[in-house]
């Protein structure tokens, strides 16, 4: 890891910004039908997996920023990377982020047979 190359910084926490696989968040499914992925159960799973792997890299990671946008006038479920709809309907991604916030430094190992 690149942070290991700077020993003089080893005492500092690591903050990760823009921790989101999504791009072009000002557009939605009506602009590009491929953005429908953000309104499915797959997107929260992708983000959760990404966050787990990032957090597994180092105990020094203290903050991960996941941006979301509320676009006034956008249709419901338009596909922007939102945490809730205009009517405050919580989307699955919000539950993911809340769970990671509650876990803090605890890791859960789940095995599915």
Q: What is the pLDDT of residues 58-86, one digit of tens each?
A: 777 777 777 666 666 666 666 666 677 77
> Would you say residue 91 lies in a domain?
yes
Beta bridge partners, 63, equal: 15
> Would you say residue 37 lies in a domain?
yes
Nearest to 76, CA basis, from 38, 22, 111:
38
pTM, entire model: 0.64
> Would you say residue 65 lies in a domain?
yes
Q: Which domain holds residue 39?
A: 21-103
Beta bridge partners, 14, equal: 61
Q: Tell me the per-residue pLDDT of 10-64, one tens digit each, with 9 for 90 and over.
A: 888 887 776 667 666 667 778 888 887 777 778 888 888 888 888 787 777 777 7
> Would you say residue 53 lies in a domain?
yes
> Would you say residue 35 lies in a domain?
yes
């Amino acid at each position: 890891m690149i942070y290991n190359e700077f020993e003089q910084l080893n005492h500092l926490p690591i903050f990760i910004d823009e921790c989101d696989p999504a791009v072009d968040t000002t557009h939605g499914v009506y602009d590009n039908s491929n953005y429908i992925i953000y309104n499915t159960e797959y997107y929260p799973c992708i983000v959760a997996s990404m966050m787990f792997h990032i957090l597994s890299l180092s105990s020094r990671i203290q903050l991960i920023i996941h941006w979301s946008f509320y676009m006034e006038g956008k249709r419901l479920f338009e596909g922007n990377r939102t945490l809730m709809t205009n009517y405050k309907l919580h989307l699955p991604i919000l539950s993911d982020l809340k769970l990671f916030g509650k876990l803090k430094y605890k890791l859960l190992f789940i095995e599915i047979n």
